[in-house]
Every structure is written in C-alpha cells, then in structure tokens.
Amino acid sequence: MATAAGTAKPAAAKSGGAAIDPLDFYAVRAALSDEERLVQESVARLVDTEVLPVIRQCFEQHRFPHELVPKLAELGLLGSSIQGYECAGLNGVSYGLICQELERGDSGIRSFVSVQSSLCMYPIYAFGSEEQKQRYLPRMARGELIGCFGLTEPHGGSDPANMKTHAKRRGGDWVLNGAKMWITNGSIAGLAVVWAMTPDGIRGFLVEKDSPGFAAREIEHKFSLRASVTAGLFFDNVVVPESHVLPGVVGLKGPLSCLTQARYGISWGVIGAAQACLRSLLDYSATRTLFGRPLAANQTIQVRLADMARHITTAQLLALQLGRMKDAGTLQPAHVSLAKWNNCRMALDIARDCRDMLGGAGISAEYPPIRHMLNLESVITYEGTETIHQLTIGRELTGINAF
C-alpha cells in the first residue's frame, strides 16, 4: 500500500493541514474553558516533574510515594470539587482532567486522589454535620489527614447490600464489629469512612485510626497498583460516638452515591493511562527496525495504532459529555456505569496491545505499558466490576433487575 514505507513524515505534511495531536485527535482540549485548560496544564506539569521520575521505582519497590501528598494538596487536587473548607471548588470537568493527568502517571496516584476526594471528603461534605466538615475537610484538603473508604468485605464486594459489618447502639455510642477488605489507603489513613449495617439500615461511621479495637493491615504481594496502599480493616468492638456517625444518609444509596463520584473520575483517569501507552508505542514503533523498516511502517501495526486513536478519541468525547452532564446536574448513575465500563475496557485493551507490540521489551518496567496494564486489571475490577456496570445498564434498558 505505502510507497514510502519507512519514511516518517510530519502528519501535517501528509494531510495538508495543521498536525493532529495523536493523543487528542478531535481537539478535545479546544472544547475546554480557559480554567479547565489551566487545571490540566498544572497537573500535567506536576506529573511530568514529580510523578514520572519516581513512579517506576515506586512500582518496583511496592511503595506509595507519600512525599507527593503535600504537592497534590498544594495544587488543590484533594477535594477539588468541594466549595469552601479550603477546597478549590472546581467543576466536574476539571476534576476529570485532574484524574486523567494523574493516571497518565500511574493509576495508584489517581486512586489516592479519588479515594481522598470522592470517597472520603465527598461523603463528609454531602452527609456530614457542620462540625464534622469543619473538623476533617480542611485537614484533608491540606493532605494532613488521609482518608480511606471501607465498603467491600471479604465475602464479596459486588453485593454490598449483604454486608456483615454491623454497629449496635450502646448508650449514646455505637459499637462496631466486622472487617473490610481491599481498602485503598487503609493502613496509611488517619480516618476511615466505614459503612456498617445498623438496625436502621446501612450508615456511615467516621473511625479515627487510634480507636481501640481498630486495626489496618497492608495487603502485600500485589502484582497491580504496587504504588498504592491496599489494606484490610478490622473492627473488634470499636466504640464510635454518635458525633462520628454521618447524620445525612441511611441506606445503600449513601455509599453508592460516593461510588458515582469516584467512578466518574475513573472514567476520565483511564484515558490518561491509555494515552501514556499509545505515546510510548508511537515512539517505539518509529525507531524499532525490523525487516529493514520501522515497525510503524507495517500495515497491521498502523491499523492497531489507528484503532487505539479511535478508542481513545471515543473515550475522550464520552468523558467530556459525561462531565458536561455532571456540571449541568443531569448525570445519572447509569451514565457513569457506561463510561466506567467503556473507558476501563478501552484502556486495558490498549495497554495489553501496546505490551504485545513492544515484544520482549514489553515485559520490562522500562516501558510503561506493562505497569499500566497491571494497574488497569484492578481499575476494571474496583468501583464495580465490568459485569456490574453491564448489568446496571441492562437494568436501565429493560427495567429488569438481573443482579
């Protein structure tokens, strides 16, 4: 097909127009407001200068780069959507862009920010008393207090309605018993937002780390999200005062509405991981010479790269529309399920395909695809597995609950 196989030309020269950015094929950046673009550029700079230089080593050493927390806080990335309480008060699209840039670095860094912002600060902001908000939110925005979110239990995370962790009243206090599993930030958190069954239904408890009877143990030997902390939480007759119970919500919709916030961020975040993989493949395939020509000069390689650009572009447009719906107040959980499913699947498929096109080098940490690929195996599982989101959309379409 190509007559000049192996001769790389600037894209603009071939199309006769301005060069198209391979990572922003439909110029989504041009559809952003000045403020949104500024947010994206600031986070991109942070990722380039602070995350990328250390992340490979962190992943290899199974270490969360704790030293980055003050830098994330300084830029206003913790609880960025919250108004007041020392938070940045940014819109939903900006939060999405923050997640996208952070996950271009590593899913573990985006996970940290997702959990702190959407799963801990959000429920305190949405369902907490004024006293709880004043007590926790400013410290969490400053990165001085790290939070975790305990919903999943060892016997099965997809069906949180069947939770065993429970709390019973004792005088003016509550007594909490049970266990949570796979909890991001669990063993580095000063505050755990814990969801437990009570005689009234599921309620949210704010458990401080030094509460007697509370323990957090890090889960080791992970092959995924190695630059993120994951832990089990254990509650043995932990006394929680009434002042530490979230007063504003009872029932599963409490934790599920937090998940809607975090899943929204993930839908954007994984685009960054896919972009990082495509970027590394564009560079590699241009310089790897096989059969006397660059790898990029082969038709099947170009088809695979083109397919990645197609899927990333679709995901970007989907995320932007989702963000505009969020900011307009028309977002529903099923909208988020479709984006979480589509975009995680897109990113994981791209990471796996990039890993393959790197050949043997693809298994080396020197190239980012395998790190992103291994991370994305978690990202497609947590915050609702692919099946959970498919069934959520199926229920929306048919009106029949197949769970």
Say which residue the tokens 């939060």 belong to: 95
Round to whole Å and give the CA distance between 356 and 280: 13
Q: Is 251 in the site for ligand TGC (CB under 6 A)?
A: yes
Tell me the two tokens of residue 21: 């950015």
Binds 387, which of ligand FAD, ligand TGC, none (CB < 5 to 8 A, cut-off by type)? ligand FAD
For 276-294, b/e burial (b = at least 16 CB within 10 A) is: bbbebbbebbeebeeeeeb
Binds 114, which of ligand FAD, ligand TGC, none (CB < 5 to 8 A, cut-off by type)? ligand TGC
Tell me the two tokens of residue 322: 């989702």
Q: Would you call 396 a catalytic residue per the annotation?
A: no
One of 83, 158, 162, 243 touching ligand FAD (CB under 6 A): 158
Binds 40, which of ligand TGC, ligand FAD, none (CB < 5 to 8 A, cut-off by type)? none
Write the burial class of residue 337 (CB in 10 Å: 0-12 exposed, 13-18 middle, 19+ buried): buried
One of 33, 57, 162, 387 touching ligand FAD (CB under 6 A): 387
Kindly compute the dihedral angle of the four CA atoms of residues 201, 206, 210, 216, in this order, to the nearest 10 degrees.
60
Closer CB to ligand FAD, 100 or 230, in the complex: 230
Q: Is 260 in the site for ligand TGC (CB under 6 A)?
A: yes
Tell me the two tokens of residue 318: 């989907």
Binds 381, which of ligand TGC, ligand FAD, none (CB < 5 to 8 A, cut-off by type)? ligand FAD
Closer CB to ligand TGC, 110 or 244, in the complex: 110
Q: Is 259 in the site for ligand FAD (CB under 6 A)?
A: no
Write the burial class of residue 15 (CB in 10 Å: 0-12 exposed, 13-18 middle, 19+ buried): exposed
Min dist. Cβ of residue 227 to ligand FAD (A): 11
Q: Is 161 in the site for ligand TGC (CB under 6 A)?
A: yes
Closer CB to ligand FAD, 36 or 153, in the complex: 153
Q: Is 233 in the site for ligand FAD (CB under 6 A)?
A: no
CA distances from 143 to 206, 258, 278 (A): 17, 20, 32
Round to whole Å and give the CA distance between 373 and 59: 13
DSSP string, 69-108: HHHHHHTT-TTTT--STT-----HHHHHHHHHHHHHH-HH
Q: Is 382 in the site for ligand FAD (CB under 6 A)?
A: yes
Encoded amino acid at 160, one letter: P
Interface segment toward ligand TGC; rule CB under 6 A; list 74-82, 107-115, 165-173, 361-369: 107-115
Query: Cα dihedral sign for 243, 248, 249, 254?
Result: negative
Q: Is 336 in the site for ligand FAD (CB under 6 A)?
A: no
Q: Which residues are catalytic?
A: 383
Interface contacts to ligand FAD, rule CB under 6 A:
115, 149-152, 156-158, 182-184, 225, 230, 378, 381-383, 385, 387-388, 403
Interface contacts to ligand TGC, rule CB under 6 A:
111, 114-115, 149, 151-152, 157-161, 184, 251-253, 256-257, 259-260, 262, 333, 382-384, 388, 392, 403
